[in-house]
Amino acid sequence: MEAYGRGPGARLFSTWTNALMAGHSQFKNIMHRKGRQDKIRSKLFSKLSREITVAAKMGTPDPDMNPRLRLAVQNAKAQSMPKDNIERAINKASSGDDENFEEVRYEGYGPNGVAVLVEALTDNRNRTGGAVRSYFTKHGGNLGSTGSVAHMFNRVGEIRYPAEAGSADDVLEAAIEAGADDVQSSEDGHLITTTFDTLGTVAGELEKALGEAESVNAVWQPVISTEVDEDGAESIMKLIATLEDDDDVQNVFTNFDVDEEILAKLTAA
């Protein structure tokens, strides 16, 4: 089973409960079930708010005129973030505070040569870079240079709906009408894939047909996978969990591939 990360909302909450998810997100689902809901949701809303504020600062505070902000708001709504929280995050962009975040992408290799992409929003590049480097080192990996692993991934959009959103045929028809590229349906839900550039538009059209999605995210989808054994899967899961717990880290993507029986064993504890 190929494993890779998602956007902030999916990464921290909703995707943890979807069996269409790849390995490490299923691992996170178990953690969610063990009573971390409040902590998870608080961290999720904090990261979503940061993305909304940054998007609003980079363009207009009107989601209809700012594609990145529109996507951030769509994702926040999909994660059941209260409307007041969303509005506060947008208003913060024009509040005149001195808090300025910059986007940073870190690339490297985790245990067993697994490719890892880390997206961060930080107001202190030195702090975040030092922390991310220490996480890689602690867990048997090493941080590389920009571009060292990005060529192993494609930038795409992913939209997720619960199974009750409609039958496979109904969702497929809606996805085709919306301009999506691919749909995967199972008893656990529907995964709709789009190009990165059309994600916001497709998500908007799908919302008209199917209602609000579970998640709307721009992701790095691996095109080359690295197979790992049980020890390797456990090690990379620990690295992912450590990275995702950092407040500056928005998203983590990996390309590890693990047998489903091994994954089930690791997430059963």
Structure tokens at 102: 């910059």
Residue 216 lies in a domain: yes
171 part of a folded domain:
yes
Q: How far is CA 93 from the centre of its chain?
A: 23
Write down the pLDDT at residue 167: 95
- Is the pLDDT at 117 greater than 70? The verdict is yes
Instruction: Specify the range with the lowest mean pLDDT, choosing from 7-21, 174-188, 224-238.
Output: 7-21
- Average pLDDT for 181-199: 93
Strands 256-257 and 142-143: unpaired
- Any domain includes 79: no
Mean pLDDT of 122-145: 95
Q: What is the pTM of this model?
A: 0.79
How much is the average pLDDT of 204-222? 91
Contact 109, 116 (CB under 8 A): yes
DSSP annotation string for 71-92: HHHHHHHHTT--HHHHHHHHHH
- Assigned domain for 210 exists: yes
- In terms of phi and psi (left: phi > 0; alpha: psi -120 to 50; beta: otherwise), the region of 116 is beta
- 164: Cα separation from own chain's centroid: 22
- For residue 194, being part of any structural domain is answered with yes
pLDDT of residue 98: 54
Q: How far apart are CA 111 and CA 4, in angstroms?
A: 15
Whether 153 has a pLDDT exceeding 60, the answer reads yes
208 in a structural domain: yes
Instruction: State pLDDT tens for residues 34-51.
Output: 444 556 777 888 899 999
Domain count, the chain: 1
pLDDT over threshold 60, residue 182:
yes
pLDDT value of residue 38: 58
Q: How far is CA 23 from the centre of its chain?
A: 13
Residue 27 counted as domain residue? no
CATH number for the domain that contains residue 216: 3.30.70.980
Q: What residues contact 232, with CB distance under 8 A and at least 6 apart? A: 111, 112, 114, 256, 258
Confidence (pLDDT) at 96: 64
Helix 168-178 to helix 199-210 angle, to the nearest 10 degrees?
A: 140
Provide the H-helix boundaries in the chain.
Answer: 8-12, 23-33, 37-58, 67-78, 83-92, 125-138, 168-178, 199-210, 230-244, 260-266
Instruction: Tell which wins on pLDDT, 173 or 216.
Output: 173
CA distance 133 to 161: 35
Range of the domain at 159: 153-221
Helices 125-138 and 230-244: angle between axes, nearest 10 degrees: 160
- 180 located within any domain: yes
CA distance 78 to 159: 10
Tally of CB atoms within 10 A around 75:
25
